[in-house]
Chain A
Amino acid sequence: MVFDILGPIMIGPSSSHTAGAARLGKVARDLVEGEILSVTFGLHGSFAETYRGHGTDRALLAGVLGMSPDDERLGQSKQIARNHRLIYSYVRVDLENVHPNTVKFIFVNDQHEVIRITGSSLGGGQIVITQIDDFSVRITGSEPTLLIQHTDKPGVISTVSKVIADSGVNIADMRVRRTEKGKLASMIIETDESIPVKAIQTLKDFAWIHSVKQIDPNGEAIS
């Protein structure tokens, strides 16, 4: 459509190394519970080689601060992070067989939990989150996405899908992964519309659900 050609509106210079980096930061941040105290960016491949010339470092940090790729404060993100007392650092990493534009975030939140998130910038501002801690995932952030961490036990899938169905929202895609039988599992659900806050609360009230995060491409993170 016309605005795919005359767009996106973005802070330059590069849709993959700047706009995509900002989106990666924003989606990754939305996946973290609580307030973020510090973040380390592990830069792989082309991100590690050319980040200075593309402002990839500032764009990633801007995303973590909640800025969109068209936010004009993007270039000043380091100053803004210091004002917010967000600790940040950049390291070169070799993640082996991944996309050339890949970053591994290591977050520490206000519960002093460490959360590791890996994602790639695929070009044209498109991104994908591929790993959250021990879980392989595939989150593009272009559709409303629900990430649920829960105990692996029978009946979970049907209970969760019923809550979503009762809220009148249609599921577009659903994937379930677990670390070990009977231990922690994760569910990623892409939906056609955003899930109402009330339904998210209903899900959170189940004892076997540990966390629920919704990534809404058109809005703020709901947690």
Chain B
Amino acid sequence: MNSAKEWLENAQAMQATLSATYMEEQSNKLGRTKEELLGEMEKRWMIMANSAQKGLHGALNPLGGIIGGEAFKMREFRKKRKSYSGSSLVNAMAYAFSTSEYNASMGKICAAPTAGSAGILPAAILSAQEQHEFSDEACMHALFTAGGIGELIAKTATVSGAEGGCQAECGSAAAMAAGALVELSGGSPEMVFHAAAIALKNVMGLVCDPIAGLVEAPCSKRNASGVVNAMISADMALAGIESIIPLDEVILAMKDVGDRMDPDLRETGKGGVAATPTGQRIADRIFGRDK
């Protein structure tokens, strides 16, 4: 399976969902039964779901100390105030913040597709399951759809911030989550790919500019906005809105943008908000370069 087009053709030929088609392919390729693959996925899901809830009850202890307490604040806000973005988005953002903060605090996470973007997919699936009461089995299948979309992006372009900027990390995570959400809601395979394409386009060009080079800021907020991106992209696709540009071409466009991105804007901590006076001051404080 080398493109979304090929994946879709296989699914149509098998009259199966994208997740079932991808699981069949992975099962043949890896020489493992579907039950074994589902078991392995469940193990990963437990770690994802755990990380998405660790930060909800109070601040953790991120190594750089740049972030902390965002998941808790978001959760409290939901209880006390009427939000603009609605309780499902606020809830999902709290989960995404939690995984980011737990990761920065040396907690155990499952990269999806990277550690820096690990908050987006768990937050999307966990909040969807709560809101719509999807079965665990349906959620495990949706994670395969997410994994397949991620694999397509990794094969054709990159999922590394150092290579393609944040569009390649949080953009890919959002595309994976958007596709998974559409399949969970019973959307067609075409809709899955429209959602993934829309999510990638929404953040095309986003640079990777971590303050002090650490996976804290603006990473955690981009995980929160990343899950929102996934949810609104899924809703657009489920409403019947199509991506004008097909997913395969959007992935190539994302790669092209990443290739043209200055190295200062790709995880080096030398551009974007990392290069601002405040960003530099924080870096100096953390690395003991106080003047």
Interface residues of A (CB under 8 A from B): 1-15, 18-19, 46, 49-50, 52-55, 58, 70, 72, 74-75, 123-124
Contact at B115–A12, with CB atoms within 8 Å? yes
Contact at B287–A49, with CB atoms within 8 Å? yes
Contact at B63–A52, with CB atoms within 8 Å? yes
Contact at A6–B147, with CB atoms within 8 Å? yes
Q: Would you call the interface of chain B mostly helix, strand, loop, or mixed?
A: helix
Within residues 204 to 263 of chain B, which ones have a CB less than 8 A from any CB in chain A?
Answer: 212-216
Contact at B147–A54, with CB atoms within 8 Å? no
Output the least CB separation between A62 and chain B (Å): 10
Output the least CB separation between A179 and chain B (Å): 37
List the count of A-B residue pairs having beta carbons below 8 Å apart. Answer: 120
Instruction: Given A4-B151, A5-B159, answer yes or no on A12-B26 (Cβ-Cβ < 8 Å).
Output: no
Contact at B103–A12, with CB atoms within 8 Å? yes
Q: Chain A residues near B29 (CB, 8 Å)? A: 1
Contact at B47–A50, with CB atoms within 8 Å? no
Q: Is B275 an interface residue (CB 8 A)?
A: no
Nearest residue (CB) in B for A124 is B160
Contact at A12–B214, with CB atoms within 8 Å? no
Q: Chain B residues near A2 (CB, 8 Å)? A: 22, 26, 37, 41, 144, 147-148, 151
Interface residue stretch chosen among B83-91, B106-114, B183-191: B106-114
Instruction: Give Cα A124 to B159, complex, Å.
Output: 10
Q: Is B281 an interface residue (CB 8 A)?
A: no
Contact at B286–A5, with CB atoms within 8 Å? no
Nearest residue (CB) in B for A51 is B287
Q: Is B105 an interface residue (CB 8 A)?
A: yes
Output the least CB separation between A96 and chain B (Å): 20
Contact at B212–A9, with CB atoms within 8 Å? no
Question: Within the complex, which residue of B30, B41, B62, B212 is in contact with A6, where a contact is CB–CB below 8 Å?
Answer: B41
Q: Chain A residues near B121 (CB, 8 Å)? A: 6
Contact at B103–A13, with CB atoms within 8 Å? yes
Output the least CB separation between B268 and chain A (Å): 10
Question: Within the complex, which residue of A6, A11, A12, A50 is in contact with B213, where a contact is CB–CB below 8 Å?
Answer: A50
Instruction: Give Cα A181 to B280, complex, Å.
Output: 54
